[in-house]
């Protein structure tokens, strides 16, 4: 039996692309936390919140950049957001800079 790749199968599926994009983000947050090797409880302590709130952040399909920055910083990482047009990348956000200068 021939196995098809996801790239071959996806165009034939009736998928809501927004939902797919949200699910990928959610998965990535949890995977990132697991890569660092900490639990939701430990992360919640670092964020000064509760474990259920961390779970809610990881399940949220639409969050503020400031929430994402706090989450990523608590994992010991930094956040970059780039726009890519015709294989050219433009940095829209890099939290290495002072975020108080942002409008």
- Confidence check: pLDDT of 99 > 50: no
Q: How far apart are CA 91 and CA 25, in angstroms?
A: 19
Contact 82, 94 (CB under 8 A): no
Mean pLDDT of the chain: 82
Please give the domain boundaries of the chain with CATH numbers for all domains.
16-77 (1.10.260.40)
Taking the mean position of all CA atoms in its chain, how far away is CA 25?
A: 4
Beta strands in 1-103 (DSSP E): 80-85, 88-94
Taking the mean position of all CA atoms in its chain, how far away is CA 85?
A: 21
- pLDDT the model gives residue 101: 44
What's the predicted TM-score (pTM) here?
0.67
Return the minimum-mean-pLDDT range out of 46-50, 55-59, 94-98: 94-98
- pLDDT the model gives residue 12: 66
């Amino acid at each position: 039996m021939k196995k098809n790749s996801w790239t071959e199968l996806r165009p034939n599926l009736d998928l809501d692309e927004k939902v797919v994009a949200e699910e990928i983000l959610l998965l990535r947050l949890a995977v990132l936390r697991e890569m660092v090797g900490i639990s939701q409880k430990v992360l919640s302590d670092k964020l000064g919140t509760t474990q259920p709130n961390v779970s809610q952040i990881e399940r949220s399909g639409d969050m503020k950049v400031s929430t994402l920055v706090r989450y990523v910083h608590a994992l010991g990482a930094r956040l970059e957001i780039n726009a890519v047009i015709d294989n050219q990348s433009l940095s829209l956000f890099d939290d290495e800079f002072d975020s108080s200068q942002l409008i």
